[in-house]
Amino acid sequence: MPLRWDPLLVRHLAMELDHALAGAHLRALRLDGTSRRLALLLREATLEWDLHPSRGVPRLLPPMEPGPVDLPFQGRVRRVRSEADERLVLIEILATRGRPPRDLVVELLGNQWNALVVERPSGTLRHVLIRREAPRPARVGGIWTPPLPSVREGALVPISLHRWLEILEPVPPPDRARALVASVAWTSPLNAAALVDADPDPAFALEKGHALWTSLAFGEAPVRPVLREGEGGAQPYPWPLPGAEGEPVSSLLEAFGAVAGDSLKAGEGSAGPPGAAEARLPPPELLAALESARDARLRLVTHLRSQLDALEDEGALRGAADLLLARLRQVPPGASHAVVEGFDGAEVTLELDPALSAQGNADALHDRASRAARARERLPGLVRDAEHRAASMGALLRRARSGEATADELRAFLPAREERGAPEGGKPLPYRVFRSSGGLEIRVGRGARFNDDLTFHHTAPGDVWLHARHAAGAHVVLRWGKPGNPPARDLEEAAILAALHSKARTSGVVPVDWTLRKHVRKPRGSPPGTVLPDRVKTVMARPDAALLEKLAVDP
């Protein structure tokens, strides 16, 4: 079961992070939208936050060196805070070199979790973990719209006992917890039951509940974090509550570490120095890589099953081909369809390619039938292999998060380069692999220095080559090699990938040029990635980040 969050848990986690990170020096930011992970790389520590709603664990780890995919993010943490009765964590950042200050906003709202870098005071979004259009747009260059403030009573000033009783006494006891959450700030399903049943004697329960709520929301008493066990699993919380005391821990971060799989030291009141427990786990980048590889394998399973479901009926294709061969003289040249007499005497309409002769159409139908038959024989085995691989990765991931697997085990189990189609020796391919809705392979260059290698060494002359017009970006290749243009839907998806992998990715509409690969040449002495395409056509693409995950095969 996923962790549950409420405003009190958010507030006190923010207070812990403020104590740990205020004044720390930023080096880089990692936003991995595929695995939904945020990492704030500081000179003094690393804040890693898994922002998938089904997990949602923040961890404070030892410092890590920024990698090539991390965003340079210089500055200093001013403070970490939360908003009253909200599930928002704001890390205020003082930028260097006269740049405006920025906030790293972590939103823990419903199932729309996100992390955003907001420039102040303009509110301009500079980076987003997950791009969204609704209900509140989250895209680079847009303006961040905060969620509507809480309208529940008691967010800033305690409500009186009289008002507390006025809200709860008319409500039947079984419904009081729900009524409390609907009306009173700082309450949630995590604490409401304790607040309405704070005393065994019903005559004093509501009064004791009001006193407990006032202490939780506005009291000066020190926080006493616990790790509670329930039907849904372990749950960190800032205080033990009546009926849900839990195991005491030294900090909420320690509790989150335990949930993530770190083992607490038995019999000790402290987990040791910051990051000591986490250091026993494999590096977070290896965990993220394995999780990403597992997710990619699951997407492959879905894609292979959809391919299997979409296979044409080879028997029907062969029957149409045989009928066409028997009625060749009844088919006029250039026809897009023909109505002929079937073998049973009934009329049959045959769909044809007008660019082919009747004989050519019959041969094409036989080819399609053969391909469908081979695919029907091959795909079930590929599905089983991918399912088995994904299950094995998932089991290793669970062992790694519980501290039972080493970094070397993860490295050995990560997809070998040859699995991704790389040549022997482990040299990575210059492209990522996607699969269009129509089943065509799309290759996207991994960067400017790899574009030439993709275009001139990993394509065929008849493939379709694409690139966003007047914008730096990846070369994209749609594997084709057949007469005529590729299907419009497959071409559109390849164009969207070209737009998403270009500097124009935040535009509403991006013109993408395309031509056959054989019409692309490299001027002598030109910089890497510079080419001259000929016979170019243009398609207008609307960047849709959701397509990345939908079509991805190779992470």
Cβ neighbours of 435 (radius 10 Å): 22
Decide: 407 and 282 in contact? Cβ < 8 Å. Answer: yes
Concatenating the DSSP letter of every residue in 311-351 gives ---HHHHHHHHHHHHHTGGGS-TT-SEEEEE-TTSSEEEEE
Task: Tally Cβ neighbours within 10 Å of residue 13.
Answer: 25
510 with 499: CB under 8 angstroms? yes
* pLDDT tens-digit readout, 68-98: 677 888 899 999 999 999 999 999 999 876 7
**Res 16: pLDDT:** 93
How far is 120 from 116, CA to CA, in rounded Å?
A: 12
Confidence of residue 186 (pLDDT cuts 50, 70, 90): very high
Number of H helices, E strands in the chain: 13, 22
- Tens of pLDDT, residue by residue over 490-505, are 999 999 999 999 888 8
pLDDT-derived band at 269, boundaries 50, 70, 90: very low
Predicted local confidence at residue 87, as pLDDT: 93
Whether the pLDDT of residue 273 is over 90: the answer is no
Query: Comparing 299 with 315, which gets the higher pLDDT?
Result: 315
Percentage of residues in the chain having pLDDT higher than 90: 38
pLDDT of residue 329: 86
Identify the bridge partners of residue 513 per DSSP, sorted by sequence position.
467, 538
**Contact present, 286 and 67 (Cβ < 8 Å):** no
Cα(103)–Cα(109) distance, integer angstroms:
17
8 A C-beta contact, residue 520 and residue 532: yes
Q: What is the torsion angle, in degrees rounded to the nearest 10, for the CA atoms of residue 518, residue 520, residue 525 and residue 529?
A: -120
Q: pLDDT: is 456 or 302 the higher one?
A: 456
Residue 128 in tokens: 């987003």
* Distance from the Cα of residue 239 to its chain's centroid: 32
Give tens-digit pLDDT for 428-463.
Answer: 678 888 888 888 889 999 877 789 889 988 888 899
